[in-house]
Structure 1
């Protein structure tokens, strides 16, 4: 569970718990994921709901912001104002001031990265990949230990180095991949790249 301190108007600082379920509910909707991406790009600054609606409408339609129509922008603006941003505010990941039309990130927004494992199309999650490579390493170690053919053709040290290289290569690839898919880092949200 992520613990977040929110400051209310009275000056006290009540602790607000943002559960994993609440974060997953926020991230379950594409428009809210796009809003999170925009806010993470703008951190620690606020963003006007109109600017947010304009960029999200452009992403949804696969066009530049200058090309969106008033109807496309209004549709997103209305949904953000009436549904998505109040829900995100209630959970505690944003501070939505409806009167000013401004959205600000909260400290809980930083925890969102911990729950994002973007898997596109037919890709497998990294956790499944590492489980698979660990299984292969165990089977290989067993075959080498039992002196099974053709594993006896290389020394035990060579096989150990091969396993270490496989895990190192996987870790470097994973690090690069997650850096490319980090919410708020690239220009477009990870699901559009």
Structure 2
């Protein structure tokens, strides 16, 4: 796949990791800004199938660091979200709204993720 085709299909590139699929699905379902804590809870619920209260503290911190340093910046680079690191706030953009059908298709293809992705 050439670089140009990857850039024209950001959802395909981003969907390679389940955390990013959950993040995109949660933002698309909620249609509003979410905090990093909201997204962390969604990932724990839909990836680990446990409540936030059951997850070890170290795992929670590790997940939030991964979101902050890896997954959210990668999604933001495609302009699907804006990520305010100081406030811990992630806002969907119009670009994300336009790609909603592709995101929904990818989420439906992942049998481990229940749709809609609730917080």
Deviations 1:14-34 (A, max 9, x none): xxxx611x2211111100001
Instruction: Give unpaired runs (5+ residues) of structure 2.
Output: 1-6
Contact conserved, 2:33 with 2:89, CA < 8 A, in 1? yes
- Cα distance in 1 for partners of 2:110, 2:117 equals 18
Instruction: Give unpaired runs (5+ residues) of structure 1.
Output: 1-17, 122-182, 189-193
Q: Alignment partner for residue 73 of structure 2, among 72, 86, 92?
A: 86
Cα pair distance change 1:55/1:99, threshold 3 Å: same
Equivalent residue, structure 1, for 2:30: 42
Q: Alignment partner for residue 31 of structure 1, among 19, 25, 29?
A: 19
Query: Alignment RMSD, CA only?
Result: 2.4
Residue 73 of structure 1: how far off its partner (Å): 1.4
Residue 187 of structure 1: how far off its partner (Å): 4.3
Equivalent residue, structure 1, for 2:82: 95
Count matched residues. 108
The higher relative CO (CA closer than 8 Å, separation ≥ 6) is in: 2
Question: What TM-score, normalized by structure 2, do the two folds share?
Answer: 0.76
- Cα distance in 1 for partners of 2:75, 2:117 equals 22
